[in-house]
Amino acid sequence: MQHCETTALGVLLRHEGMELSEPMLFGLGAGLSFVYWDSKAMDFPFLGGRVKPFELTRNLAARLGLDLDVRETASAKKAWQNIVEPLDAGRPVGLQLDCYHLAYFTSKVHFGGHVVAMRGYDDAAAHLTDTEQQGGEVSTSLASLGAARAERGPMTARNRSFTLTVPPGAPEPRSRIAPAIRACAEAFLNPPIANLGHRGIDKAAQLVPKWRRREGHHERDLPQIADLMERAGTGGALFRNLYRDFLAESAESAELIDDAHLRAGHAHYTEAATRWTEVAALIAKGSLDGAGSALADLARLEREAMTELRQVGA
């Protein structure tokens, strides 16, 4: 899998006997969004292409009627107990942490919204499942795991761990596709602030050309931003690719196979995914005016897409 939170969710749900593709996990969790985030402490803004960390998990659990048990604590001892108890009972555990401290991460960048599945441990190491890019089945020292879980800062949580259970009588996942699509579209079209959804993309279109006025090492920083967008899946094509594939898979379900709104939305997101890769390439080259123009087109394209998807299965 490609995205950390859906990777962890896939591990936890497979253990419960529920097998869903990564795009389906992402779509049922209404994970697609956009955020333009800037602060005085940042050299350059953050462009995010999904909902905030852990919101996808909460959305998915609520939509599928899953029992989500979330534990948080400031105590290192209690934090360890919270993961050892289910592991010793044979259940994998999801963890939210700062990937900076993980031994197998080659890129040392603080990101407190990273999510992994923990499947076991020994006296020296924790055995995790992460994305394909990070190695899949990996291990890190217990000390580094503790530091990653306890880190404080943007998007972090207090030693958050969680498990998922599929209770008797839970709805069939495919019956929840249309409501998930409509909910994602509504949130995208009606964001509470101008930094989010289609309004956030419009804002990025206006502000990205002004990045050249910011202090910093543009020759180094702009390619790094573009790399994070594409390879780390922040504001690049990854989440648009996942949502495009979710819509394609959704169109195969009996109730939506002839839904014209779904077909139109899928066509729009097929184009949008390609355009986001182009935006990242323009930023990497320092073509900020071109990136701004492309972002303005994307805001329009995704607004049209979500206007169609808001009507799916209605």
| pLDDT tens by residue, the chain, 314 residues | 999 999 999 999 999 999 999 999 999 999 999 999 998 777 778 899 999 999 999 999 999 999 999 999 999 999 999 999 999 999 999 999 999 999 999 878 889 999 999 999 999 999 999 999 999 999 999 999 999 999 998 889 999 999 999 999 999 999 999 999 999 999 999 999 999 999 999 999 999 999 998 877 788 889 989 998 998 888 999 999 999 999 999 999 888 989 999 999 999 999 999 999 999 999 999 999 999 999 999 999 999 999 999 999 98
Would you call 44 helix, strand, or coil by DSSP?
coil
What is the model's pLDDT at position 108?
A: 83
Which tokens in the block code for residue 93?
A: 């555990």
What is the model's pLDDT at position 106?
A: 82
Domain boundaries in the chain?
67-165, 173-309
Where would I find the beta strands (DSSP E) of the chain?
A: 32-37, 46-50, 67-71, 93-97, 114-121, 125-129, 137-141, 161-165
Task: Tell me which architecture the domain covering 67-165 has in CATH.
Answer: Alpha-Beta Complex (3.90)
Q: Are 53 and 33 in contact (CB under 8 A)?
A: no
Query: How many Cβ atoms sit within 10 Å of the Cβ of residue 294?
Result: 21
Type of residue numbered 32: L
What is the model's pLDDT at position 188?
A: 98
What is the model's pLDDT at position 81?
A: 98
pTM (predicted TM-score): 0.96
What is the model's pLDDT at position 194?
A: 96
Query: How many Cβ atoms sit within 10 Å of the Cβ of residue 284?
Result: 17
CA distances from 72 to 149, 163, 221, 308 (A): 10, 12, 35, 39
What is the model's pLDDT at position 156?
A: 94
Would you call 149 helix, strand, or coil by DSSP?
helix
What is the model's pLDDT at position 297?
A: 98
Question: Between the CA atoms of 217, 210, 285 and 245, what dihedral angle is there, to the nearest 10 degrees?
Answer: 120
CA distances from 141 to 129, 133, 138, 144 (A): 14, 20, 11, 5
Query: Residue 274: how many CA atoms within 13 Å on its side-chain side?
Result: 6
Q: How far apart are CA 163 and CA 170, in angstroms?
A: 16
What is the model's pLDDT at position 43?
A: 75
The position carrying tokens 């209404």 is 30
